[in-house]
Amino acid sequence: MSVSRTASEAPLTERQWVRRGELLEAARAVFERDGYHGTTVSAIVQAAGLSQGAFYLYFADKKAVFAALQAEMATLLRRRIYWATRDEADAGRRLEAGLHAYFEYYEEYAAWNRRLTIEGLAIDESFERRQTELGQTLAMAFRPTLEQLGVGETALAAFALLGIASQIAYWQHFQRRDEPSMGAVALAKACASLFLNGAPSIAAQPPQGGTHA
């Protein structure tokens, strides 16, 4: 199943790219609200304000639009981490900058990340494979920084870092109860310190109200 149009079809016009983007934004909102299994093509096109026929110009079914969203959101995350870290010479600050970009992305798209985690990866093996490829790409991006920090097993360490970050992000947005809320900057500092220096290095957070922002 292709993610959207096939290579043999004519390239999209600028207007068609706008329409496709509108469909993707609407689809993400509906998937976040109703879940993958509860979402229908009718609900997506209604949210986008487009006709059902317009949907099928770009996507074969809701599985294809979910796959397109997975690909586009992965690209967005990779780009954010790249631009956040590319000009930072110090390895420690570069690690924090990359984690900050990750936590900021997760905070902005928390509902989407939750749907992808609890439903999307079980649709079929292609969705899990794409997420595995994203993890490998992110790990490769962090490995030079970890090597500069003196880490020997950079591959293992990079995946451990990603695992810590993803679990912290999920806990922060969906499992945290009475613990104080932490923003992306604080989460990045705590995650980097936990990874590099161990749990005793993390300072206790003072009680506070407010949101995750």
Counting the structural domains of the chain, the total is 1
Residue 31 domain-assigned (yes or no): no
Residue 116 domain-assigned (yes or no): yes
pLDDT single digits (tens) 23-59: 999 999 999 999 999 999 999 999 999 888 989 999 9
What is the domain-level CATH number for residue 136? 1.10.357.10
Task: Name the percent of the chain lying above pLDDT 90.
Answer: 76
Predicted structure pTM score: 0.86
Residue 190 domain-assigned (yes or no): yes
Residue 157 domain-assigned (yes or no): yes
- Return the amino acid letter for 48: A
Residue 38 domain-assigned (yes or no): no
Packing angle between helix 91-108 and helix 110-118, nearest 10 degrees? 80
Residue 34 domain-assigned (yes or no): no
Task: Name the percent of the chain lying above pLDDT 70.
Answer: 91
pLDDT single digits (tens) 196-213: 988 877 777 665 544 444
Domain interval for residue 194: 62-201
How confident is residue 131, by pLDDT bands cut at 50, 70 and 90? very high
**What letter does residue 119 receive in the DSSP assignment?**
T
Residue 146 domain-assigned (yes or no): yes
Residue that has been written with the tokens 């998937």 in this structure? 31
Residue 10 domain-assigned (yes or no): no
Q: What is the mean pLDDT of the chain?
A: 89
How many other CB atoms sit within 10 Å of the CB of residue 80? 17
User: Which pairs count as long-range contacts for 134-143, CB under 8 Å and 24+ apart, including other chains?
Assistant: 134/74, 134/77, 134/78, 135/159, 135/162, 137/78, 138/77, 138/78, 138/81, 138/162, 141/78, 141/81, 141/82, 141/85, 141/98, 142/95, 142/98
Least confident segment among 1-5, 26-30, 73-77, 198-202: 1-5
Instruction: Tell me what pLDDT residue 8 has.
Output: 39
Q: Degrees (nearest 5) of the Cα angle 143, 174, 126?
A: 55
Residue 167 has pLDDT above 80, yes or no: yes
- Return the amino acid letter for 56: Y
